[in-house]
Amino acid sequence: MSQLDFDAPLSQYFFEDVSEHLKSNEIYNLDDLMDLIYINDNNWWKSLHLEKETANGILKWLYDHRLEGVELPDSVLKKAIELTKPYYGHKIGVVAGAQFTEVVNPETHFKKVPQRAGFMHSERSQIVPLESFKVPDLFNGREGTNRGDKANCQLSAEDDLQAIHSWLKARGKNQNTQAAYKKEAERFLLWAIIEKRTALSSLTLEDCAEYLTWLEMLGRSSDETWGARWNQPQSTWLGPKNTTRSSGAWRPFSSALSYSSRKIAMTVVRQLFSFLQKTGYLKMNPFDQISPKIPLLPGEGKPKEYADRSLSKEQWDEILAYLEAMPESIQKARLKVILLLGKGLGMRCSEMINARSSWIAARNIGGSSVMFITVIGKGDKERRLPLSNEQVKMISDY
């Protein structure tokens, strides 16, 4: 199947009114659209001011083209799979020449998001959005141990929160980018103050190295495992999804972060610290000494490409049964040898093509004569593969 052109104008794939609307929001191609979805997860459509049915239509279209290069974040993929159900409770619009029928399941149409149990008032009062956050004087960073020479600082910021706002202003006017960067900076600042009890500008290399581990464990650990490592319980950080920022139940996270979300989180924080160092606000960037590699956790990632082409045992049984039912001929003998060399011995295509009968020879192993085929593989390296009497006969018959 051909791959989509992620740099082509969106008008190549979507109706004009949809592509023009996306273009007005600085989304010019599929690459831009995928970046936005990875940054904003399930809220990507809100930042574009799309109607829900149009957003569902775009998501359905992306899901239908997942074999042509589209890879959706886990949370968005889950939503896309819901759109394929026959009684999904929201309208799906027309976006790319395909008519998606509106069907409503009354039992799920008005489904409410349950409130997460376990929020304590004291925790709730600490965790608020960036625009409402009052940093304790002890942790505001005015005297941060990593603060640069104030006389040479290019920022007018007096404390860490002001420095973050200066960085956000420098990120450009794109609202989607601003929202994504603000979310990650907000999460990191809250983590530094409430979990680490340290000003952002006083964090050490060891402190910063812990942030990725914290993100990996959040929402995945038992309370006992979590409590043995971290100061604040997970309920401090996790709240109901789609809660308004003005709500007392708002939390920085609604679930465990996927691989792509952790990667974005660490990239944004690295860029924040790089900016603060280059402008002289910080003396050094601790993330410069921390590996940028984001590991996959158990169950994440996808199988290698070749694994998707593997045959099941039942499929192999059917192939072998078909082969045995063929009339005896040179073609049947050749197919048997091909399966022997490829499936039985694991030889590469190039090795099978170049194989010679002279490569087969008997060797004395432990007092017994064993037949081997010596193969010249990649890098001109030799390897010997043992052959049974039945396999030798199969080759001789051919």
Tokens in use for 91? Answer: 């309208």
Residue 41 pLDDT exceeds 80: no
Indicate the CATH number of 313-397 among 1.10.443.10, 1.20.1070.10, 1.10.357.10, 3.30.70.1710. Answer: 1.10.443.10
**Cα–Cα distance for residue pair 78/263, rounded to 1 Å:** 19
Q: How far is CA 132 from CA 186, 288, 314, in A?
A: 11, 31, 61
pLDDT, position 106: 31
Q: What is the pLDDT of residue 369?
A: 83
Sequence-distant (6+) residues with CB within 8 A of 323 are 332, 335, 336, 339
Does the pLDDT of residue 200 top 70, yes or no?
A: yes
Per-residue pLDDT of 62-109, as tens digits, reads 888 877 778 888 788 888 887 766 444 455 665 655 433 332 233 333
Angle, alpha carbons 297-298-304 (nearest 5°): 95
Determine the average pLDDT of the residues in 374-388: 79
The answer, yes or no, to whether residue 187 has pLDDT greater than 90, is yes
pLDDT of res. 202: 96
Question: Over 80: is that where the pLDDT of 233 sits?
Answer: yes
Question: Mean pLDDT for the chain?
Answer: 82
Q: Tell me the three-class secondary structure of 25-93, residue by residue.
A: CCCCEHHHHHHHHHHHHHHHHHHCCCCHHHHHHHHHHHHHCHHHCCCCCHHHHHHHHHHCCCCCCCCCC
Dihedral Cα 296, 300, 305, 308, nearest 10 deg = 160
Distance (Å, whole) CA 304 – CA 339:
22
Q: Which pLDDT score, from 0 to 100, does residue 95 have? A: 62
The pLDDT of residue 113? 30
Single-letter amino acid code for the residue at 393:
K
pLDDT in the model for residue 85: 60
Instruction: Please check the confidence at residue 226 and state whether its pLDDT lies above 80.
Output: yes
**pLDDT at position 265 over 90:** yes
What digits encode the pLDDT tens for the residues 127-175?
889 888 888 888 999 999 999 999 999 999 999 999 999 999 998 777 8
- Amino acid 120: pLDDT: 34
Query: Among 183, 188, 208, 193, which residue's Cα sits nearest to residue 285?
Result: 208
pTM: 0.49
Which pair of tokens denotes residue 271?
């860029």
Integer Cα distance of 133 and 99 in angstroms: 46
The CA-based diameter of the chain, rounded to the nearest angstrom, is: 90
